[in-house]
Amino acid sequence: MIPISWYLILAAALFSIGLFGVLARKNAVAILLGIELMLNAVNINLVTFWRYLEPAKVTGQVFAIIVFAVAAAEVSVGLALIISIYRRRDTVVANDIDLLKW
């Protein structure tokens, strides 16, 4: 059997990679990709804790489903915003989107 530590370390590594993507990428779409990686890491943790600690209850899976819904909502609105900005300002570089910067 696999000890819980393997899953948790994998999720932590995935979360860190996602964090790096969010912090370091220029492209706004890529930042959203990084957020997806982080959400996936969280979901791995939720399902892992459900399986290892309380498999008789459904709490972990319900949380994961709510995370799915939030991820879908976040991506649809985020990408709509990015496309809208691209149409007006002709850029998807996060540094150039500085309408509120003065």
Partner 1 sequence: MTTMQVLFLIFAAIILGSAYKVVTTKKMIHAAFWLIATLFGVAALYAMLSAGFMAMVQIVVYVGAIAILFIFAVMLTRKDLRDSATPLNDGRFLAAVLSLLTFGGFFLLLKNWTGFTQLPSAEVPADMVGKLGTALISPSAYILPFEVASVLLLAALIGAVYVAVGATKNK
Compare residues 87 and 102 and give the one whose CB is closer to partner 1.
Answer: 87
As a whole number of angstroms, the distance between CA 12 and CA 38 comes to 9
Our CA angle for 27, 20, 64, nearest 5°, is 95
Compare residues 35 and 102 and give the one whose CB is closer to partner 1.
Answer: 35
CB of 4 to partner 1, least distance (A): 6
Compare residues 95 and 102 and give the one whose CB is closer to partner 1.
Answer: 95
CB of 102 to partner 1, least distance (A): 20
93 in helix, strand or coil? strand
CB of 67 to partner 1, least distance (A): 10
Non-local CB neighbours of 6 within 8 Å, separated by 6+ positions: none
